Amino acid sequence: MAQQRMLKFVHTAKEMPEKRDATVRSQDFHEIYREFADAKAAEQASRCSQCGVPYCHSHCPLHNNIPDWLRLTAEGRLQEAYEISQATNTFPEICGRICPQDRLCEGNCVIEQSGHGTVTIGAIEKYITDTAWDMGWVKPIKPAVERAESVGIIGGGPGGLAAADALRRAGVQVTVYERHDRAGGLLTYGIPGFKLEKDVVMSRVKQLEEGGVEFVLNCNVGEDISFDAIRGKHDAVLIATGVYKTRDLRDPGADAAGIVRAIDFLTASNKKGFGDDVPEYDDGTLNAEGKRVLVIGGGDTAMDCVRTSIRQGATSVKCVYRRDRANMPGSQREVKNAEEEGAEFVWLAAPKAFSGNPVRSVTIQRMKLGAPDASGRQSPEPIEGGIYEEPADLVIQALGFEPENLPEMWGVDALETTRWGTIKAAFGTHATSLPGVYAVGDIVRGASLVVWAIRDGREAGAEIVKYLDGASRVAAE
């Protein structure tokens, strides 16, 4: 009987949740997609083919049991659907909103490959968990047994929070050291509200706090407390700092006023959304209102800056990227959203120099795609004579992020790093070169996806429990 509810993709077309009108949504920072109604969520879930080899499952970094909770949603068994979703994903309502499903689960859906249009997995995942919060199905963390051991987690982003959740459920005492005034890391200050409203993140932080996780905020390790002090205080340590060092422009004039880093721009906007006092926003330094904005880069951070600038009231917003649309690293869904909201994309173009201080214009070099590089992507090459001037009052650098030099910042030479500056951590266990010290997320992988950080955090939490179990046995002997 259950199977008859599925396999509806032949007769039922793919539908996304309704998108708010671009002219309306571009005036605020609320999420752009409306919620599925119960009937629509069940209808769309019923399109799943329940295939024998579910590529959506295997292409999800968390290996979520997607066909199972789609079937339960189609049958109206939402609480069970949530429980199965939560079993493999610490933050399903966050992944449902910000994962690039078009590159992961949905992009590898069997019915998508056969031309019927993918199951809208992300929207259904969001719907299930939002319903769970509304209905009170999201329960507080209550360990069966409390343990005496404690773990210090450096960084309150998705990797650190996922590990904190796993460790508290095992009864371990957890303290999170966070450099900002709120936990959440990138989820709180890096991603705009129109993709992820902040009450969604704060609800999970509150759940962790009520479950016994201690947060030490406004804490810069290496300044406010030493790394050695954290190691001395705890039985194990997890490094989950992320990567926040911006790849800066090196072209002539790139140090002019009006040329800002993406992370500073987005953090200021998100702080303003919380109602904080943000002097650099109020004085116009990190505010796009009334300005001709040029965003340089082609990833999701660049898309966030483009769409934030529109909402702040920029007179024009252009995104300059050195490759073409097909070769950009950011989500095509995000590009489409940005275009609907009034952004212009300048493909095959790169900055060559900046004029004025404050900046007034950018010299742009037209590019073409040449031979493939080491990654297999075609390398951009300058077109001879293809130079022109682009006026700009605010230039936002969104060229990606690199790791900070943690061994130097923290005075820990024995913490081994790779040639890219990321921390060396063992595959699977996430153990570093220091006994009892683990590392997860972007500080190990380089700039990556939130869903990978969540997976790392969950895995590391389980491995740290094994390590503590082993240490306890040795102590007992």
List pLDDT tens digits, range 107-158: 999 988 878 889 999 999 999 999 999 999 999 999 999 999 999 999 999 9
pLDDT band of 430, cuts 50, 70, 90: very high
Contact call for residues 129 and 155 (beta carbons, < 8 A): no
Same domain, 321 and 257: yes
**pLDDT tens-digit readout, 261-293:** 999 999 999 999 999 999 999 999 999 999 999
> What type of residue is 456?
D
The whole-angstrom distance between residue 374's C-alpha and the CA centroid of its chain comes to 26
CA 193/CA 308 separation, integer angstroms: 9
Q: Are 17 and 35 in contact (CB under 8 A)?
A: yes
Does residue 275 lie in a domain region?
yes
Instruction: Write down the pTM of the prediction.
Output: 0.93
Q: What is the CATH number of the domain that holds 79?
A: 1.10.1060.10
Residue 51, Cβ neighbours under 10 Å: how many? 14
Q: How do beta strands 401-402 and 245-246 pair?
A: antiparallel
- From CA 80, how far away is CA 91, in angstroms rounded? 16
Lowest mean pLDDT among 40-54, 353-367, 434-448: 40-54
What does residue 24 show for φ and ψ, rounded to 5 degrees?
Answer: -85, -50
pLDDT at 464 over 90: yes
Q: Are residues 304 and 345 in the same domain?
A: yes
- Which residues is 153 bridged to in the sheet? 176, 238
Assess whether 234 and 256 both reside in one domain.
no
Give CA–CA dist 77/69, Å, rounded.
9
Pair 462, 431: CB distance under 8 Å: no
Number of domains forming the structure of the chain: 3
258 and 391 part of one domain: yes
Are both 76 and 193 inside the same structural domain?
A: no
pLDDT range class, residue 1, cuts 50, 70, 90:
very low
Residue 420 covered by a domain? yes
Note whether 354 and 390 are within 8 A (CB).
Answer: no
Residue 373 pLDDT more than 90?
A: no
Q: Specify the pairing of strand 245-246 against strand 259-261.
A: unpaired
Domain boundary among 340, 369, 397: 397
Judgement on whether residues 379 and 432 belong to the same structural domain of the protein: no
What pLDDT shows up at residue 281? 98
Q: Tell me, yes or no, whether 424 and 374 share the same domain.
A: no
Assess whether 110 and 177 both reside in one domain.
no
User: What is the model's pLDDT at position 89?
Assistant: 97
Measured distance CA(245)–CA(264) in Å, rounded: 11
Count of other CB atoms within 10 angstroms of residue 273: 15
Residue 289 lies in a domain: yes
Give the pLDDT of residue 476: 60
Candidate from 2-11, 54-63, 283-292, 368-377 with smallest mean pLDDT: 2-11
Q: Compute the distance between CA of residue 457 and CA of residue 159 in angstroms, rounded to an integer.
A: 4
| More confidently predicted of 415 and 330 | 415
Mean pLDDT computed over 98-110: 91
Average pLDDT over residues 440-467: 97
| CA neighbor of 362 nearest in space, from 396, 334, 333, 388 | 388
Q: Tell me which residue range forms the domain holding 385.
A: 248-397
Q: Chain-wide mean pLDDT for the chain? A: 94
Cα dihedral sign, 155-161-163-167: positive
Q: Has residue 328 got a pLDDT over 80? A: yes
Which residue intervals of 197-261 are DSSP H helices?
A: 198-210, 227-233
Residue 52 has pLDDT above 90, yes or no: no
Mean pLDDT, residues 28-50 taken together: 89
In this predicted structure, the answer to whether residue 322 has a pLDDT above a threshold of 90 is yes
8: tokens are 């509806």
Instruction: Specify whether 268 is located in the same domain as 368.
Output: yes
